[in-house]
Structure 1
Amino acid sequence: MRRLAETASGSPSSWHSLQQFINGSTWSWDAPRRALAAWVEQRASVRAWTIPQITLSKRGDRLVGVHQRFDSQTGRTVNCQAVTTLFLSCPGANFPVDWHLHLPEEWVKDDQLRQEARIPTTATSEPSWQLALDLIKRSVRRAGRPNVPIVADLSEAGELGAAISTLESLKAGFVIAVNPRLRVAADEVPRMHRSGHFSQHGAALSASRCLELYRRRYVYTATMMGDNGDFRQTQILSALIRLPASPRHVYRLFAEPGDDVPEQSPIWLTNLTERRLEELLELVVMHASSKVTVNCMNERLQYLGFSGRSYPGWHHHTTLVSAAYAYSRLAHPALPARAAASQIA
């Protein structure tokens, strides 16, 4: 922060003023985030709202919200902050416009920790999937119903039926990652007889098992454009299913498999049943690329290195770096992200 302040002012106390502006001041971050989202919408061809779950490795135990958790990507237990972010995504770019910080139980039940971190009484300990829904509802209150699909990771949702009801009440198209063990009901699930032939009967089974049964007969080959501009072919497993909690609605399960569909493979559920599978897979790719954007902001641009203990300070910081990142990509479209970011600093 001292180096950042020195680029804007020669005053030896300017860094302290900047620190107070971020950590100690009381300004609300809601209005700036709403303005940022509107600014991005005017300048980018937004194709989706993407909401990934992010784990930011941290050192120490006094940073706001820091805790120990198992990271499925690395297979290790890490000291981290768990973050849920809403991006306005378009091909080749993702712009963070709203953030949630997961607060473990120990952070909301310990009065001393709450006081030291200035955690408001309205902040509670909620699972990441619930924070994703809160971000969606908050953005709808700010900007109205989205006219683009919502792509989110709800694979840890304890009440997926309630989550889907929330999304459908917003009249939004959605593509959501679900738990492979999710129970689904398929009107026509291919089953193998002892003779080696398939027959079709209604069944209730897990999402992963449903796609495994469809593998031999209902594999779709999609042609996608890669990051380098070349086309590639990929296989997609897909099945029209119903959920026991809402049997009147038809959804589509789909996955891009490897050699099989193991329990840990990402499986997606959508109400956009009329969309081509290529379009659905493009939305999934945008969701994956939003995680790459966070890694870029955290590691290459070093935007997410906030080391303060203040809950408002964390939200102030993420608001400012979101604006800085959007400015670096949209106000200087001809410059690489690194060069534009250096101009901001």
Structure 2
Amino acid sequence: MNAVRHLEHEVPDTTVEELCAELFAPLPRADQRGKGAQYLYGLLTADGRKTVRNIAAHVGGGSAEQSLHHFVSSSTWDWTPVRAALCRYLERVLRPRAWVVRPLVIPKAGRHSVGVARRFVPSLGQVVNSQEALGVWAANEEMSAPVHWRLMCHEERRRAGAALGLRRPWGEQPEGADAESVAATAMEVREWALGTPRPVVVDLPDCDARALARLFAAERLPMLTAVSGATRLVIDDRSRLPGDTDREVSAQQLLKMVRSLRRPVTWFDPHLGRDRTSLAATVQVRLAPSSEPLLLIGEWDDPHGWPRRHWVTNLTAGPVGALLRLTKLALRAEADFERISVPVGLVDFEGRSFNGWHRHTTLASAAHAVRALTAAPTDGGLAPVDGRLRSA
């Protein structure tokens, strides 16, 4: 086999072999390493849904189905060091500018798969029978790939609380992507990473911004988080709004007060494949009178309308253009999920195994990385390795 053909794109064996050697090195047994490589090849070659049966048909026939099912759903190997190896590999090869945290909702017809529940999904505006997960993506302007996942069910919530040293009655809390789950997931990736701490871009407007900012400040993690226009903020910009400091207003109202300070910012839209220009402005704020200073970032598509997106960040010295372009890395992850993650089967796991879901998504994330890296430009136009902000 000289190459793997999928979606009219060939992947050299050397690319997969290099990733497998690094990714599966933490697995203690040779048969596990072999099954991991076999499953990864199946994700890259099988047509249609990436079920175990379909994967087995492309890499080993019917005799492989039972062993691959056991490898994913019932084996003892821990996905955590495999994800850590993937994170370090992508940090070195992809050179991300930021880690992007965004939600994943997987609609399900029945209620028998792990983590399935009827839940209200804000982005869809309706109750959906689905799985919900948090994903962390390594991202720069040219490409992105997922490195970590947290399936939002009670077992994962207990893990999130333990990571933060919390002892709340987790069973009394609703399932969902709360600030503690986001912070715990980002901290796990930070511990795996090798380089300078990168900003964490959190694209969860319904998350508790106050709790999130407090947790990130405690961990000294740079972050940008989306907030709703109704979020109440304390004005902290004496140079621009000297008569209004210490007054609490909504993010939307505050940005209307500083719209004369807007400036055009050009950024790349990965969905359209071309540059676009928005108007953007920043203003110094606090989420509470005694909290740490932050910047509120507003973005306008229509110069005469209300801002379209609102973000707060603890990167208070960042220029507006660089900050807005960092927020757009969430769009890069969104576009790459649709373009790469879905075809390689990231959402295709069916079954009740909590461990099986995590093993499958780990291997599908590796398949995504192969696709992203082999389709990437080779002209050296990747982002700087330290993730520092560029000038506006």
Same fold (TM over 0.5): yes
Partner of 1:235: helix, strand, or coil? Answer: strand
Question: Does 2:121 correspond to 1:76?
Answer: no
- Aligned position for 1:312: 355
Alignment of 1:195-344 (within 5 A): 200-202=243-245, 203-215=247-259, 217-227=260-270, 231-247=275-291, 249-259=292-302, 260-261=305-306, 265-297=308-340, 299-330=342-373, 333=376
Of residues 64, 83, 98, the one that matches 1:14 is 64
Structure 1 residues 294 and 245 mapped into 2: Cα distance closer, same or farther (>3 Å)? Answer: farther
Q: Give the counterpart letter for 1:45 in structure 2.
A: R
Alignment of 1:54-73 (within 5 A): 54-73=104-123
* C-alpha distance in structure 1 between counterparts of 2:97 and 2:369, whole Å: 16
* C-alpha distance in structure 2 between counterparts of 1:241 and 1:140, whole Å: 27
CA contact (8 A) 1:62 1:309 kept: yes
Aligned length: 310
* C-alpha distance in structure 1 between counterparts of 2:129 and 2:221, whole Å: 36
Of residues 26, 47, 54, the one that matches 1:3 is 54
RMSD (Å) for aligned C-alpha atoms = 3.1
Structure 1 residues 140 and 253 mapped into 2: Cα distance closer, same or farther (>3 Å)? Answer: same
Q: What CA deviation, in whole Å up to 9, does each residue of 1:228-286 have, x standing for no partner?
A: 67543311132221232535x33111121244337xx5310011122221111111111
Q: Give the counterpart letter for 2:147 in structure 1.
A: V
* TM-score normalized by the length of structure 2: 0.70
* C-alpha distance in structure 1 between counterparts of 2:195 and 2:227, whole Å: 23
Query: How far off is 1:182 after superposition?
Result: 2.3
Partner of 1:312: helix, strand, or coil? Answer: helix
Query: How far off is 1:76 after superposition?
Result: 2.8
Of residues 182, 194, 212, the one that matches 1:163 is 212
Structure 1 residues 319 and 234 mapped into 2: Cα distance closer, same or farther (>3 Å)? Answer: same
CA contact (8 A) 1:179 1:267 kept: yes
CA contact (8 A) 1:180 1:207 kept: yes
* C-alpha distance in structure 1 between counterparts of 2:265 and 2:83, whole Å: 37
Structure 1 residues 241 and 325 mapped into 2: Cα distance closer, same or farther (>3 Å)? Answer: same
Unaligned regions of 5+ residues in structure 2, if any?
1-51, 158-168, 379-392
Structure 1 residues 145 and 134 mapped into 2: Cα distance closer, same or farther (>3 Å)? Answer: farther
Q: Give the counterpart letter for 1:261 in structure 2.
A: W
Partner of 1:128: helix, strand, or coil? Answer: coil
The range that moved more, 229-238 or 26-35, is 229-238
Q: Give the counterpart letter for 2:254 in structure 1.
A: C
Q: What CA deviation, in whole Å up to 9, does each residue of 1:57-104 have, x standing for no partner?
A: 121111111112233333332221111001111112111111001116
Query: How far off is 1:162 after superposition?
Result: 3.6
- Aligned position for 1:90: 140
Structure 1 residues 208 and 102 mapped into 2: Cα distance closer, same or farther (>3 Å)? Answer: same
- Aligned position for 1:180: 229
Query: How far off is 1:152 after superposition?
Result: 0.7
Structure 1 residues 261 and 26 mapped into 2: Cα distance closer, same or farther (>3 Å)? Answer: farther
Q: Give the counterpart letter for 2:60 in structure 1.
A: S
- Aligned position for 2:200: 150
Structure 1 residues 60 and 314 mapped into 2: Cα distance closer, same or farther (>3 Å)? Answer: same
Structure 1 residues 188 and 87 mapped into 2: Cα distance closer, same or farther (>3 Å)? Answer: closer
* C-alpha distance in structure 2 between counterparts of 1:79 and 1:164, whole Å: 31
Query: How far off is 1:43 after superposition?
Result: 0.8
Of residues 68, 78, 103, the one that matches 1:28 is 78
Higher strand share: 1
Partner of 1:73: helix, strand, or coil? Answer: coil
Partner of 1:275: helix, strand, or coil? Answer: coil
CA contact (8 A) 1:189 1:214 kept: no
CA contact (8 A) 1:145 1:171 kept: no
Q: Give the counterpart letter for 1:48 in structure 2.
A: A
* C-alpha distance in structure 2 between counterparts of 1:231 and 1:332, whole Å: 20
Identity %: 27
Unaligned regions of 5+ residues in structure 1, if any?
109-121, 192-197, 336-345
CA contact (8 A) 2:88 2:194 kept: no
Structure 1 residues 104 and 123 mapped into 2: Cα distance closer, same or farther (>3 Å)? Answer: closer
* C-alpha distance in structure 1 between counterparts of 2:106 and 2:239, whole Å: 42
CA contact (8 A) 1:50 1:287 kept: yes
CA contact (8 A) 1:65 1:102 kept: yes
* C-alpha distance in structure 1 between counterparts of 2:119 and 2:189, whole Å: 28
* TM-score normalized by the length of structure 1: 0.79
CA contact (8 A) 1:189 1:210 kept: no
